[in-house]
Amino acid sequence: MENKRQNRWLVAIMGTLLMIVLGTVYSWSFFQKPIVETYGWSNSGVAWAFSVNILCLGLAAAWGGVYMPKYGPTKLATIGTIMYGVGFMLGALALKMENLAFLVIGFGITGGLGIGLGYVTPVVSASRWFPDKQGFVTGMVVMGFGFGALVMSKIIAPGVMKAVEGNLVSTFFYIGIIILVLGFIAAIFIKQPPADYVPEGYKPPVNKTTDKPVTVDITPLQGIMTSKFFLMWMLLFINITAGIMFISFQSPLMQDLWEIFKPGADAASLAAIGGTLIAISSLFNGIGRLFWGGLSDKIGRVQTFRLILGTQIIVFIILLFVKNPYLFGMLVCYVLLCYGGGFGTMPSFVRDVFTPKLMSVVYGVILTAWSLGGIAGPQIVAFMKDNYPTNAGHYSVIAGAILLAIGFILSLLINNNIITDKR
């Protein structure tokens, strides 16, 4: 038993490392402005590389959730890591060719599919190793995904760019190699527990009527056709859309505010300011996954989502009146704390409602909310910046606040109970 306990923590730690590698995609706004300025492409055009990446991520996660029982987490995690690294390399080729469409295909499609295949494996595996600490441990694992932007924007990307003297083509290529190496090391440790594994001292939930372990008599397809699944999907979609609006454009928006607040700053200084916000907010993104996931163990999953959505409504309203870049940065950090919280809470929510039997399939499919949110959020902001450059932030925040209000209302229609029928 002790050996198994050590093994499960190794899975959790290496799963977190894998998530850090995959989560570097969140640093896209670090590259957004340099690419736009170097190649003369539009903000919305370049943003499609990120949006398509997140779209493919969600679709691949859904496929991976369905087929993980067949292929196993190690194989899917390894293939996913390879595809993500190759996606960066194809992105380098696209920049060398000065071909925006190929950037979307290479980094967006190939890289996104790779991240999706890799993402679902450590989350589901950790949940099965830790039924006694599922909110905390799955929060810890997905916390790594949030920290990926910090590692990329403050360590990997600046170091590589300095080594290649700012050449974007070389930067993308060498980052791809780094992802391949680190991701492969982590992927080989992602494994499922034995079928009969139960942590010492853990007692599975039982049916109060029969005093036997709780089971569900529906298929995965029936599960994802229920109204409860739809409501859970909507909660995640709305929270993702609101948060990803700032993830994809937090650096340019901060730089725009800073230019108004302190005119005369040069491009290098503005880039450093934007990079600092990415780094700090990514910490909150990561911490939010652990914090809200752990809190959900104590107060319940639905209650946690209500807090996440409700408090963000207030923050978005305040953002409508913010002109100070420091206050803007603090509020963005809170939005990212809540954004991460949705990812930290949802795995345990799915496991509670649909039981471990259906978790990998249902959780994979529910991540399609990430796909659509990954398109909606960045494109809302990019559209505003291209068409209403002086009021882009204001209009984007209004759209986000409306979405969050809808999400909060929907959260009142759902509970924490295990699914018992096909409705």
Nearest 5°: the CA angle 28, 385, 112 is 30
Average pLDDT over residues 156-175: 94
Average pLDDT over residues 211-231: 78
Tokens at 376, concatenated: 């909606």
What is the C-alpha to C-alpha distance for residues 249 and 343, in angstroms, rounded to an integer?
20
Higher-pLDDT residue of 285 and 89 is: 89
Following DSSP, what letter does each residue of 388-423 receive, concatenated?
Answer: -TTTHHHHHHHHHHHHHHHHHHHHTT--SPPP-S--
Average pLDDT over residues 301-325: 92
- Residue 202 falls inside a structural domain: no
> Is 2 a residue whose pLDDT tops 50?
no
Q: According to the model, what pLDDT value does residue 215 have?
A: 61
Average pLDDT over residues 283-310: 92
Higher-pLDDT residue of 127 and 102 is: 102
> Is 91 a residue whose pLDDT tops 70?
yes
Higher-pLDDT residue of 337 and 54 is: 337
Residues 345-362: pLDDT tens digits? Answer: 999 899 889 888 788 889
Q: Which residue has the tokens 């670090």?
A: 30
pLDDT band of 214, cuts 50, 70, 90: low
pTM of the model: 0.78
Q: According to the model, what pLDDT value does residue 422 have?
A: 60
- Residue 73 falls inside a structural domain: yes
Q: According to the model, what pLDDT value does residue 421 have?
A: 60
Q: According to the model, what pLDDT value does residue 74 have?
A: 94
Phi, psi of 234 (to 5 degrees): -65, -40
Percent of all residues in the chain with a pLDDT value above 90, rounded to a whole number: 45
Higher-pLDDT residue of 54 and 215 is: 54
Average pLDDT over residues 363-385: 83
Q: According to the model, what pLDDT value does residue 1 have?
A: 43
SS (H, E, C) 73-119: HHHHHHHHHHHHHHHHHHHHHHHHHCCHHHHHHHHHHHHHHHHHHHH
> Is 209 a residue whose pLDDT tops 60?
no
**Structural domain containing residue 324:** 2-195+207-411
> Is 6 a residue whose pLDDT tops 70?
no
> Is 148 a residue whose pLDDT tops 60?
yes
> Is 309 a residue whose pLDDT tops 60?
yes
- Residue 46 falls inside a structural domain: yes
> Is 53 a residue whose pLDDT tops 50?
yes
As a whole number, the mean pLDDT across the chain is 87
Q: According to DSSP H, which parts of 320-391 are helical?
A: 325-366, 368-387
Query: Pick from 412, 107, 65, 71: which is nearest to 234 by CA?
Result: 412
| Burial letters 42-72, b for 16+ CB under 10 A, else e | ebbbbbbbbbbbbbbbbbbbbbbbbbbeeeb
Average pLDDT over residues 109-124: 94
Higher-pLDDT residue of 102 and 416 is: 102
Say how many domains are in the chain: 1
- Residue 201 falls inside a structural domain: no
Phi, psi of 58 (to 5 degrees): -65, -40
Q: According to the model, what pLDDT value does residue 212 have?
A: 54
Please list, in sequence order, all residues whose beta carbon lies within 8 angstroms of the beta carbon of residue 2, skipping any fewer than 6 positions away. Answer: none
> Is 21 a residue whose pLDDT tops 60?
yes
Q: According to the model, what pLDDT value does residue 318 have?
A: 93
Nearest 5°: the CA angle 301, 186, 80 is 80
pLDDT band of 3, cuts 50, 70, 90: very low
Nearest 5°: the CA angle 144, 150, 153 is 140
pLDDT band of 216, cuts 50, 70, 90: low
Q: According to the model, what pLDDT value does residue 265 have?
A: 74
pLDDT band of 261, cuts 50, 70, 90: confident
Which of 1-15, 49-63, 119-133, 266-280 is least confident? Answer: 1-15
- Residue 420 falls inside a structural domain: no
- Residue 277 falls inside a structural domain: yes
What is the C-alpha to C-alpha distance for residues 182 and 209, in angstroms, rounded to an integer?
49
- Residue 200 falls inside a structural domain: no
CATH assignment of the domain containing 125: 1.20.1250.20
Type of residue at 70:
K
Query: Pick from 142, 120, 137, 132: which is nearest to 74 by CA?
Result: 120
Average pLDDT over residues 45-65: 88
> Is 303 a residue whose pLDDT tops 70?
yes
Following DSSP, what letter does each residue of 194-240 receive, concatenated?
Answer: PTT---TT----B-TTT-SB------HHHHHTSHHHHHHHHHHHHHH
Higher-pLDDT residue of 270 and 203 is: 270
- Residue 419 falls inside a structural domain: no
Average pLDDT over residues 158-173: 93
